[in-house]
Every structure is written in C-alpha cells, then in structure tokens.
Chains A and B, each alone.
Chain A
Amino acid sequence: QQQVKQSPQSLIVQKGGISIINCAYENTAFDYFPWYQQFPGKGPALLIAIRPDVSEKKEGRFTISFNKSAKQFSLHIMDSQPGDSATYFCAASLGSNQAGTALIFGKGTTLSVSS
C-alpha cells in the first residue's frame, strides 16, 4: 500500500502561472511533511517543510497548505518560472523527534514551465 500518493504525475504551466501539486497520506501518525525538488542528474533538495500543527507555510514563491482532517497537503508555486521546471516529491515521516525515522516519498510530479 502506497503510504504517500502524489498527483498529478506531470504538469505543464505557463510562465507566471500557479503550479499546484497535491499529496495524500494514510498514516495519521506522520508528523513531518517536506517537499523536495530534483533536477535531472541531481539528488533531491529540500524546498520547504511543514509540521501538522500549522495549516500553511510560505517561503518566497512556495507555499505548503496542510489539511490534517483530510490527510492532504499541497505545494503551490506562485509566479512559476522556467527555472522551476523539475521533478517535485512530497514526503512524510513519523516520529520527527526520534532518531532515524526515514522519509517516505511520493512518486513525483514532473513540472514544465513554458516561456
């Protein structure tokens, strides 16, 4: 059973538009939800993360919205730029204050921003 489900698989957005990627999770014990960005040939890099005690977190053009009751969270990229074209992964983990808990990743969304 896939613990973190991500959609859409791919997304095309015009420059200046809003990109929205969604994730749903099963385990209500998850308490840390990061988003990672990966460019071809590179490793994933942390973009932004949220804990379940807040409903929204914003960093620059990137915002995470979190809905605990629906067990869903989403990434919004405002004013999308061609340089944002990459693969985005949501992830989740439990026991964020314990050592060694691994991140569980979604399958990824390939974002293309057209100029």
Chain B
Amino acid sequence: GAGVSQSPRYKVAKRGQDVALRCDPISGHVSLFWYQQALGQGPEFLTYFQNEAQLDKSGLPSDRFFAERPEGSVSTLKIQRTQQEDSAVYLCASRFSGRVSGELFFGEGSRLTVL
C-alpha cells in the first residue's frame, strides 16, 4: 500500500484480555516506531525497530507490553492483561532510513478502549 496501515482501527477489550495490534509499514522502510497517544496528548514513544531488530524498548510502560517485527516488515504490538489505563490510540510510524531527519510517516492508529 501507499501508506502505513494499521489494524484493527478500533478495539474494545474487557479488562484482563490480551490484544494484538498490527502495523504494515511502507514497503522498504527500515525504521519502525510505536507510539501511544492518550486523549488530548502528544504521541509518546514506546519502542523502535531497525529491520527486525528491536533497538529501543525503553518507552514500553510495563512488561505487559511486547512488540515484534520478525521479518523486518510487519510489526505487532501485544498488550497482555489489559488495564483501563491502556486505553489510548496506538500509532505506528515508519521511515525509509535510520536517520532521524528522514520523514516519519504515521498510520491512522488503532484506538484501544479497555472497559
């Protein structure tokens, strides 16, 4: 596709359920980021992949959050035992190169609501 694709766009989970959010980056993009955006706030960094290697996971809020990108393209963000505070929009972004000054392209996000 032409842009970053995320699915599902909307997810409602009961507290304690596990969820998986998928990101299809732009083809050929080396760098992939996950951000969390709470209502009315700016995106906050969660984790970064360069190809299949997860180089930075310092933003993951707890060990319930796990991300992978096994073949260096599609990425999945998994949240185990969801809590109400996990409710947010999860944004995936990709960039052609590893250099920060390259443009970062965002998907439309997956909105997670935990009841």
Residues of A within 8 A of B (CB): 6, 32, 34, 41-46, 49, 51, 89, 91, 93, 95-108
The answer on a CB contact under 8 Å between B100 and A95 is yes
Question: Is the C-beta of B72 less than 8 angstroms from some C-beta in chain A?
Answer: no
The answer on a CB contact under 8 Å between B56 and A106 is no
The answer on a CB contact under 8 Å between A100 and B31 is yes
A106 to B44, CA, bound (A): 9
Question: Is the C-beta of B101 less than 8 angstroms from some C-beta in chain A?
Answer: yes
The answer on a CB contact under 8 Å between B101 and A100 is no
B75 shortest CB reach to chain A, Å: 14
Question: Is the C-beta of B1 less than 8 angstroms from some C-beta in chain A?
Answer: no
Residues of B within 8 A of A (CB): 4, 31, 33, 40-45, 48, 50, 55-56, 59, 91, 93, 98-101, 103-109
Residue of B nearest to A4 (CB): B42
B43 shortest CB reach to chain A, Å: 5
A49 to B100, CA, bound (A): 11
A75 shortest CB reach to chain B, Å: 14
The answer on a CB contact under 8 Å between B59 and A102 is yes
A98 to B99, CA, bound (A): 6
With known contacts A100-B98, A102-B33, A102-B59, A46–B103 Cβ distance under 8 A? yes
The 9 tightest CB contacts between A and B, nearest first, are: A99-B98, A43-B106, A105-B42, A102-B45, A96-B100, A96-B101, A101-B100, A100-B55, A100-B48
